[in-house]
A and B are shown apart, each in its own frame.
Chain A
Amino acid sequence: MAQLTEIRWHGRGGQGVVTAGQLLAETALGTGQYFQAFPDYGPERMGAPIRAFTRLSDEPINIHSQIEEPDVVLVLDPTLLGTVPVTEGLVEDGVLVVNSSQSPDDVREVTGFRTGKVFAVDASHIAIEEMGREITNTPMLGAFVAATGLIEMEALTEELRAWFTGKISEEAIQANLRALKRAADEVQEG
């Protein structure tokens, strides 16, 4: 893994953006990596665009500034494309992972991100099919793992199970795990 990877999450209040960042941090902890996870605090309302940030590294992280030039951007809500500048500051060889029913080429068209790598997965569709609700954080974590390889799927699966145990039913945990795996399998690179 690179020395330090900076990740920015885009979503809407209620989609589990902050939880996704926390899950990633917990997974990193379990695999001996260093991490920071912090949301962008402002007025928090259901449905409003929100951002969260994660840093991952093999070494202790000293820096405590905001992430202005992320290496990876994840977009949990397809309606944010074209409304929020999701690729702002994304480094040239960066990775963009988007919840979209469109192809990666179409995502490049909409976002204007011509370099780096673009991944698209219909996480909303997967979430509704598997969990009955459009909560896209777990499928997008699956897509993140497939797109970047920054953490192990097995470690993430274990962490996700541990995180949800006692919070939601076993049935709901299984649905989340299916969504996680499906998104990892179905994500398209272009």
Chain B
Amino acid sequence: MSKLEALTGNAAVANAMRQINPDVVAAYPITPQTSTVQTFSEFVADGLVDTEFVTVESEHSAMSACVGASAAGARVMTATSANGLALMWEIVYIAASNRCPIVMSLVNRALSAPINIHCDHSDVMGMRDSGWIILMSENGQEAYDSMVQAVRIGEHPDVLLPVAVCQDGFITSHALERVELLEDEEVQDFIGTYAPQWSLLDLDNPKTYGPLDFYDYYYEHKRQQVEAMENAHGVIAEIADEFGKKFGRSYGYLEEYRMDDADVVVVAANSTAGTARTAVDDLRDEGLKVGLLKLRVFRPFPAKELAEALSSAEAIAVLDRSISFGSMDNSGPLFTELAAALALQGVNVPIADYVYGLGGRDIAPGEIERVYRETLEMAETGESRGVTYLGVRE
């Protein structure tokens, strides 16, 4: 039995944390932190969780404490956003390299400067090479469901990697929507008890985390991280499948919407996928064959699945909520990676990039309809286009 509640995306995630009841949560309790940590601190104060809740003096310390606790064998969670993630930077890599299955809620917001508290994906795109598994969420419900799945994914013995669960700052993190919460016992049964294989506290079998590791073995350790990321690919699907069978909400690497006979497809992530669905419906009513591909798993990047889903499209547009400055055409990271994936998989379809919504700039269905119309034109000409900065004053 599940329970319907009116919750913000942040509160939905805090409730997932309450139900997961992690051993340790270390987090920075001040801006740029989100209300997730505030709500969770209330659960701690009310005695609803057994968590050792550590409020630290910086985000760098938050992730450091998480790494220590995780190495000790604890089930560990944290939450951050924007510049908070940027300050964690050094330890974000260390968490992944030490193979700490930490779960982090990441509310995607713009990086300074200038100061901006609103949504874009600059923060998470900065951690794309760090070794974390990265899941994207259209709304609070998806963020909640993925938090529960993330525990299992990260802790899987073939994976042992940290997982970030993203959602859009303010747009879903602060919007009150209908969220179906699982029963506490259902969450506990699903995640099970964490049995760390490599606990520092296992004194009979001493371990070392993060020692000097030069040209003798460092490279091999990096190679093992690759193997873990490769394993994560299958594990994510297995756990999503189990979650879907138990609770009726299905997840995969991607979600296809009205793509069966679609001539053109837009690829989007997080809340914009929902708005794009509205645009697809409007254009379908006009008789235009358009579809949407929502990306749920950004790391590991599901290149083969994307290529397969897009192989019959006549043209593709990517919606990127960040810029990779100085990259090919100063486009967005999703575009460059997808274009490369399609090329390597032999999918030769015209493709264009649309950067949009930086610093919380709104994207309306009408603008996405424009993207579809231009992509339909691109299907006619058969020629790829470079980047377009949607909705910017020039």
Query: A: which residues have CB within 8 A of B?
Result: 21-22, 25-26, 28-29, 34-39, 41, 61-66, 68
Contacts and interface: CB of A to CB of B under 8 A. Distances in A.
B278 interface: yes
A35 B365 contact: no
Interface string B171-196: 11011111000000000000000000
A28 B138 CA distance: 21
Given A62-B275, A63-B274, A64-B168, A29 B178 contact: yes
B121 to A, nearest CB: 14
Contacts of B171: 38, 64
Interface residues of B, number: 26
A65 B357 CA distance: 10
Interface in B118-152: 118, 138-139
12 contacts: A21-B176, A35-B6, A37-B6, A38-B174, A38-B176, A41-B174, A61-B177, A62-B278, A63-B274, A64-B272, A65-B275, A65-B365
Contacts of A26: 6
Contacts of B139: 64
Contact of B6 (A22, A63, A68): A22
B305 interface: no
A29 B5 contact: yes
A29 B363 CA distance: 27
Contacts of B272: 64
Contact of B274 (A28, A34, A39, A64): A64
A72 B237 CA distance: 43
A25 B178 CA distance: 9
Given A63-B274, A68-B362, 4 more contacts: A34-B178, A38-B174, A39-B174, A63-B365
Contacts of A66: 362, 364
A64 B271 contact: yes
